[in-house]
Structure 1
Amino acid sequence: MTSSPAGQLRSIAIGVTDLDAAERFYTGTWHLDTVARTGDAVYLRGTGSFHHILSLHRGAQPDVRNLTFSVASAGDLAAIASRTPGAGGTVLSGPAPLDEPGGGTAVVIADPQGRILRFVHGDERHAAADAGRDVRKDAPVRITHAVFNSADVAVAQQFFEEALGFRLSDRTRVMAFMRCNSDHHSIALADAGSNTLNHIAFVMPDLDAVMRGAGRMSDAGWPIEWGVGRHGPGNNVFAYFVGPDDFVIEYTADVLQVDDSYKAGAPSDWTWPPGRFDQWGVSKPPSDRIKQAQKKIRFIEQTN
């Protein structure tokens, strides 16, 4: 497959209004593990090798601080830094050492719509033996994608393609699915009136883990807001929830793996009969609550 310097989606940093409560939820109910703490932040890992996949930061309001990709080489960092300005983005810092748990050397940029993206090389990984430790079978492995609402999808798509080497996997009536590795998409861009977070997707080991996780969430008082079902683009199984501070979070599995031979679909390729909301035809429509939550979480403003 054609290489992208962006590598693989590693983690997302979010601001939360009650740090202790958020940590209890993401460890006790969502099934991540705390791997590090600082004075105002908690770093959580999945069952995979990344040092952390989610960091929680104490804040006055919920927000997205940054999205981080783990890249293969220092050369990829240099390529991203050199290509970003010409594609309409801003280099905020780096390459420079990253002063947080997990470390590494990072380039930090802002895309044309103000989202802060970080690209890290040499960050700490958990050993293979540790990654295979005795873990819960219904725990997330890693983050597989994030979906951004975009006031201008064409502008965002062009930036991800020109600066970061993403490719379009599929275009539906409301969303552009973008890939930077064999996962069908690591980023999706949703047509919307503002530039906000739509949701974060955590990949589970398999369908059974999605179902067990969904049952555990429901038992704990966090109802399924959309699903369980199977998407069209990406072919992934899904179950959506609205978590603390109204972050929309997804359990998913069976994400389609693609290569350069994959032909991007157009909106006409992704339509359902009236009343159907997934491939299987079993999912109820998204709840009103999730529709509102998918619009409200903003990104912090960039700083040079």
Structure 2
Amino acid sequence: MNEPAARLRSLRSVALRTPDARQAAEFYEHVWGLDTVESDGGAAWLRGTGQEHHILELREAERNALGKIAFSVGTPREVDEAARRLTAAGIALVAEPGRLDRLDQAGGGYGLRFADPENRLVELSAEVEAVVPGDACGREAAPRKLAHVVLNTVDIDAACEFYTTVLGMRISDWSEHQMAFLRCNTDHHVIAFNQAEWTSVNHVAYEMPSIDHFMRGIGRLRHQGVTPLWGPGRHGPGNNTFSYFADPAGLVCEYTSEVEQVEEDAWLCRVWRRVPELSDLWGTAGPPSKDVRSHMAGIPDAGRWWEK
């Protein structure tokens, strides 16, 4: 493509498919700190304290899998232009531009959907319904927004080429040639790719408003009997705090805060060595255990669920 299909404004939401969506929704609302904005049979949509109608969608499925990743664009006209550019580049649309409620999507909006090279569903949307903002800086230890999604890929170079060329994302940093961190705004990364044996969800990260909210969130989970798989600590790439947990289905979810902000004209991409002192700058978490790595590997996800 001569130019990206669209200018992405932010990572809007992620959809996860899981064998017990009701149990997952209870965990993310009553333990994790999100609020359910709508539910319908085997699906639920949950929000943080930020501006997005929802940041997590949960749907019933036979096994854990990625449902979709949604990015925001500025206007319906940009959605229409993205459709033209995608089609011209030979990228087939899974859903043509139109109102998203026709696709059983809570929050409405105008958007389109297409698949990336590893059959992940990607949505571009505009004019999603507004919600009353929560008190993001209040006492409650609740996630403000979706921080990033890390995806396991069988070809990290091809994944980076697609998301930078087609979606205009920029690579902020590398963790050797094992992980790539991509941004679409000033956040250091909203997507990261991890070279792996199969395609799957590695983890989903939720941003807390401050390091105090981050630590109090960890404390609340401990009182619920949920202890970290790894963390708390602070990563080198992105300079963000981290604490990883497993939801009832075994999918990895992360609390994070203080994600590094990129000054576009001054930023230089770096390559970080994969050593404990750079994976955790605090030195509190140590290297990830075999159990953590097993959870983050997930199960093979061939995608294209919408054709089944």
| TM-score (normalizing by structure 2) | 0.90
- Confirm or deny that 1:57 pairs with 2:59: yes
- Confirm or deny that 1:171 pairs with 2:174: yes
Where does residue 248 of structure 2 map in the other structure?
244
Runs of 5+ in structure 2 lacking a partner? none
Runs of 5+ in structure 1 lacking a partner? none
TM-superposed CA distance for 1:4, in Å, is: 6.0
Tell me the amino acid that sits aligned with residue 239 of structure 2: N
CA pair 134-252 structure 1, distance change in 2 beyond 3 A: closer
Tell me the amino acid that sits aligned with residue 212 of structure 1: R
C-alpha separation between the residues in 2 aligned to 1:290 and 1:239? 11
Alignment of 1:183-198 (within 5 A): 183-198=187-202
C-alpha separation between the residues in 2 aligned to 1:274 and 1:239? 15
Tell me the amino acid that sits aligned with residue 123 of structure 1: V
Alignment of 1:1-304 (within 5 A): 5-85=7-87, 89-99=91-101, 100-127=105-132, 130-132=133-135, 137-173=140-176, 174-267=178-271, 270-271=272-273, 277-297=279-299, 298=301, 300-301=303-304, 303=306
C-alpha separation between the residues in 1 aligned to 2:63 and 2:219? 29
1:34-66 superposed Cα distances (whole Å, 9 cap, x missing partner): 111112211111001111111111222221111
CA pair 146-274 structure 1, distance change in 2 beyond 3 A: closer
C-alpha separation between the residues in 1 aligned to 2:127 and 2:172? 28
Tell me the amino acid that sits aligned with residue 159 of structure 1: F
Tell me the amino acid that sits aligned with residue 8 of structure 1: S
CA pair 219-156 structure 1, distance change in 2 beyond 3 A: same
| Larger displacement relative to structure 2 (134-143 or 156-165) | 134-143
CA pair 186-225 structure 1, distance change in 2 beyond 3 A: same
Look up the SS of the partner of 1:246 in the other structure: coil
Look up the SS of the partner of 2:125 in the other structure: strand
Cα contact 1:104–1:123 (8 A) shared by 2? yes
C-alpha separation between the residues in 1 aligned to 2:79 and 2:149? 21
1:60-106 superposed Cα distances (whole Å, 9 cap, x missing partner): 22211111112111233134323335667432112111122100111
Cα contact 1:4–1:181 (8 A) shared by 2? no
Tell me the amino acid that sits aligned with residue 210 of structure 1: F
The share of aligned pairs that are identical, in percent, is 37
| Larger displacement relative to structure 2 (77-86 or 14-23) | 77-86
Tell me the amino acid that sits aligned with residue 105 of structure 1: Y
1:113-153 superposed Cα distances (whole Å, 9 cap, x missing partner): 111010111111213xx433896521001101101111111
Cα contact 1:80–1:163 (8 A) shared by 2? no
C-alpha separation between the residues in 2 aligned to 1:87 and 1:141? 36
Q: CA RMSD in A?
A: 2.3
C-alpha separation between the residues in 2 aligned to 1:108 and 1:141? 25
C-alpha separation between the residues in 2 aligned to 1:25 and 1:299? 26
TM-superposed CA distance for 1:223, in Å, is: 1.4
Cα contact 1:177–1:188 (8 A) shared by 2? yes
